Amino acid sequence: MELEEIKRFLRIDFDNDDDILGLITSAAEEYIKGAVGSFDYSNPKMRLLFLNIVSSMYENRLYTVDTGNEHLSWINGSILLQLQLECDQIE
């Protein structure tokens, strides 16, 4: 995914965090590959999960606890489970 698209999703209009965004996007992609077995950016659910993981990692890069994201975590968990099941059916 292009960095500019990720920055639009995160509503970032500066370049200061491009290095950390690169690290976070690589980690998010690897996380999905490890959980699902592959990474297919053309899959809308996988794309949304990827963007949500990047957003969560970027917004929570400090060691704080925010209980306001519980609903989003539930949605991401559900999307991840669906993708795992879809990949298992393909194999």
What does the pLDDT average to over 44-70? 79
Q: 50 pLDDT exceeds 60?
A: yes
Give the pLDDT confidence score for residue 66 in this predicted structure: 57
Whether residue 26 contacts residue 20, with contact meaning beta carbons closer than 8 Å, is answered with no
Q: Parse the chain into domains and list their residue ranges.
A: 3-90
Report d(CA 38, CA 40) in Å as an integer.
Answer: 6
Residue 65 binned pLDDT confidence (cut-offs 50, 70, 90): low
Q: 15 pLDDT exceeds 80?
A: yes
- Long-range (24+ apart) CB contacts under 8 A made by 41-46 are 41/1, 43/83, 45/79, 45/82, 45/83, 46/79, 46/83
